[in-house]
Structure formats: structure tokens, C-alpha cells
Structure 1
């Protein structure tokens, strides 16, 4: 995982998921989680983007 991905995971979780996986279910789930609360979106972004 690159430094840019880590920074985006923390600051803009939906953007990080979008750049890695495109517009799909992972992005929509992350967007919903981020709207409900920042921390769930960040946790989901780290889980999804962990390779």
C-alpha cells in the first residue's frame, strides 16, 4: 500500500476506494459508511484497499 493510498484512506475514504476499485459496490458501501460516520468509512477503505 503506497503512502498516497494511506493518506487518501484517512482523508477521503471514498476517493481512495474509487481510485483502486472504480465505481462499484465497494465504492457505494464506502460512500454510505463515510456519510454515516467518518471512522467506519476509513476502516472499510483500509480493509478494501489492503492488498
Structure 2
């Protein structure tokens, strides 16, 4: 995992998921989680970008 990915996972999680996997279900789930509350979106971004 690069430093840029880690920074994006913390600051704007949907962007890091978008860059890694493109528009799709993972991006939409992360966007919804981030809009509900930032922390679940951040955790999901780390989980998804680690794959």
C-alpha cells in the first residue's frame, strides 16, 4: 500500500476506492458509509484497498 493510498484512505475514502476499483459496488458502499459517518468509510477503504 503506497503512502498516497494511505493518505487518501484517511482524508477522502471514496476517492481511494474509486482509484483502486473504479465505479462499482465497492465504491457505492464506501460512499454511503462515508456519508453516514466518516469512520466506517475509512475502515472500509482500508479493507478494500488492501486486497
TM bracket (short chain): over 0.9
Q: How many residues align?
A: 51
Query: Could you tell me which residue of structure 1 aligns to residue 50 of structure 2?
Result: 50
TM value normalised by structure 1: 0.98
The residue matched to 1:23 in structure 2 has which SS? coil
Where in structure 2 are there 5+ consecutive unaligned residues?
none
CA RMSD, 1 decimal? 0.5
TM-score, normalising length from structure 2? 0.98
Identify the residue that residue 31 of structure 1 maps to in structure 2. 31
Report the CA distance between 1:34 and its aligned residue.
0.1
> Aligned partners of 1:12, 1:19: CA distance in 2, in Å?
11
Aligned to 1:7: 7
